[in-house]
Amino acid sequence: MADVRQVGVGEIIGHFQELQDPRSAINRQHPLVSVVVIAVMAILSGAAGPTAIARWAALKKDLLLALLDLPNGVPCKDVFRRVLMALDPAAFQACFAGWLRSLRLAAAEATEVGRPVLAVDGKTARRSHDRAKGLGALHAVTVWASDFGLALGCLACAEKSNEITAIPELLRLVDIEGGIVTIDAMGCQKAIAAEVIEGKADYVLGLKGNQQGLHEAVMAYVEGHSDDDFARVEAQWHLTEGEGHGRSESRTYLHLQAPESLPGFEQWEGLRSIGVVMAESLREGKWVNETRYYISSLAVDARLFARASRGHWGVENGCHWSLDFIYREDESRIREARLRQNFAWLNRLTLSLLKQHPGRQSTAMKRLSCGWSDAFMLEVLTGQTL
């Protein structure tokens, strides 16, 4: 116990001091900050609901009393449930802003990545619906800093089709300055492009049939310049080859200046370039070809465009896959609207903390280790080595 007493949890606690307590002052026996920090610790260690948080806290009573202000002992399940149901999800996330800023700065220094790829994508917790109450499954849109393994924010919406309205709101909640925001074709919207530019970032937006006129014009423009190998326009190429997941793959990236003749060009805030990714892969003995088109506010730089478009898949591989297979989020039966939104954020926050830990273990093993070792859990929580 002597070692863990020396851990500097004061800085973590400080991030929550401005969080407004939604509870009545009557019979408020447990400090809000302590309740929130316990929830973060418990979820790091494997908890997936209020009952599991309370059970973990009861088993870790001595540790918690040594670290936190708990004048009336360890809270029970009802306390965790009431607090996480009462907290406004947007206000709850806002209190993490300082912590996320420090994590992002540390990750940027460690990776030497000055312009992180900020992948925006949604995920549905498939079993979180409650038909009897008319509650659909939770669909949460996340901003994931792929280079850092860091969730910068998430916002719930009714279903995938509502991402179009949720994304601008989410971008206003998150510090995206200096980043490259990547979104699939559903997010290829003028309002979203404008929001990214307003946030002092750049965008790379997938282009498909939802912007049919623009999509067809971009394809025609690229084809029209292919005959003379793009001699009449500023263009760059980049080629990558590799093997993984049982297949060989090569990708050719073309990045070229966007012409003002594109339909609605002036309505797309900051539009400067067109991107094309031509992928060829050998899958089960057959060659498969795929071509994807993008619009972007980036200046022509094929290597940077390649990093951005490739980095977008970090939200699937680094975030969504982990939430499904390590956190079992798809199996969650939490059905109260605010409660499940706050758990969605806590899952993404704690996943980010696990990915910041420098150990070589897998993320799954790190989470197991948090449950096995108080010292390791506190290392992950605070970024300090005991």
261 in any annotated domain: yes
CA distances to 90, 141, 151, 195, 230 from 341, rounded to whole Å, are: 10, 11, 15, 24, 48
CB-CB neighbours of 66 under 10 Å? 16
Supply the angle between the helices 32-44 and 337-356 in degrees, to the nearest 10.
60
* Whether pLDDT at 253 is above 70: yes
Supply the angle between the helices 50-59 and 32-44 in degrees, to the nearest 10.
90
- Please report where in the chains the tokens 């940077």 appear, as a residue: 304
Over range 114-126, report the average pLDDT.
Answer: 90
175 in any annotated domain: no
Rounded CA gap, 302 and 278, in Å?
13
Q: Which pLDDT score is estimated for 6?
A: 47
Its pTM stands at 0.91
What is the tens place of the pLDDT at every residue in 269-307? 999 999 999 998 877 777 788 999 999 999 999 999 999
Contact predicate 310/182, CB 8 Å: no
CB crowding 100-112: b at 16 or more within 10 Å, else e: beebbeebbeeee
293 in any annotated domain: yes
Domain count, the chain: 2
348 in any annotated domain: no
Sheet order of strands, 138-145 included = 150-157, 138-145, 117-125, 180-183, 202-207, 286-296, 273-283, 247-257, 235-244
Give the residue from 132, 38, 114, 44 showing the smallest Cα distance to 80: 38
Range of the domain at 221: 195-303
Please give the share of the chain, as a percent, with pLDDT higher than 70: 92
Contact predicate 362/321, CB 8 Å: no
* Category of 144 on φ-ψ map: left (φ > 0), alpha (ψ -120 to 50) or beta: beta
Confidence of residue 222 (pLDDT cuts 50, 70, 90): very high
52 in any annotated domain: yes
Q: Which pLDDT score is estimated for 337?
A: 84
Same-domain pairing of 208 and 295: yes
Q: Which pLDDT score is estimated for 221?
A: 96
Same-domain pairing of 293 and 364: no
What is the tens place of the pLDDT at every residue in 14-37? 888 888 898 888 778 999 999 999
Confidence of residue 159 (pLDDT cuts 50, 70, 90): low
* Whether pLDDT at 1 is above 50: no
State which H helix or E strand residue 168 sits in: helix 163-173
188 in any annotated domain: no
Least confident of 53-62, 135-144, 167-176, 349-358: 135-144
More confident residue, 281 or 325: 325
Same-domain pairing of 373 and 283: no
SS (H, E, C) 56-101: HHHHCHHHHHHHCCCCCCCCCHHHHHHHHHHCCHHHHHHCCHHHHH
Q: Which pLDDT score is estimated for 126?
A: 67
202 in any annotated domain: yes
Confidence of residue 258 (pLDDT cuts 50, 70, 90): very high
* Whether pLDDT at 5 is above 70: no
What is the tens place of the pLDDT at every residue in 128-155? 666 666 666 788 999 999 999 999 999 9
Residue 76: both structure tokens together: 């029970």
Same-domain pairing of 362 and 298: no
Rounded CA gap, 332 and 125, in Å?
7
154 in any annotated domain: no
Contact predicate 239/252, CB 8 Å: yes
Q: Which pLDDT score is estimated for 2?
A: 41
What is the tens place of the pLDDT at every residue in 68-108? 999 999 999 999 999 999 999 999 999 998 899 999 999 99
Same-domain pairing of 283 and 371: no
More confident residue, 339 or 210: 339
Please give the share of the chain, as a percent, with pLDDT higher than 90: 73
Last residue in a domain, options 268, 303, 338: 303
Rounded CA gap, 216 and 64, in Å?
60
* Category of 161 on φ-ψ map: left (φ > 0), alpha (ψ -120 to 50) or beta: alpha
Round the average pLDDT of the chain to a whole number and report it.
90
Residue 320: both structure tokens together: 């969504």
Over range 151-171, report the average pLDDT.
Answer: 86
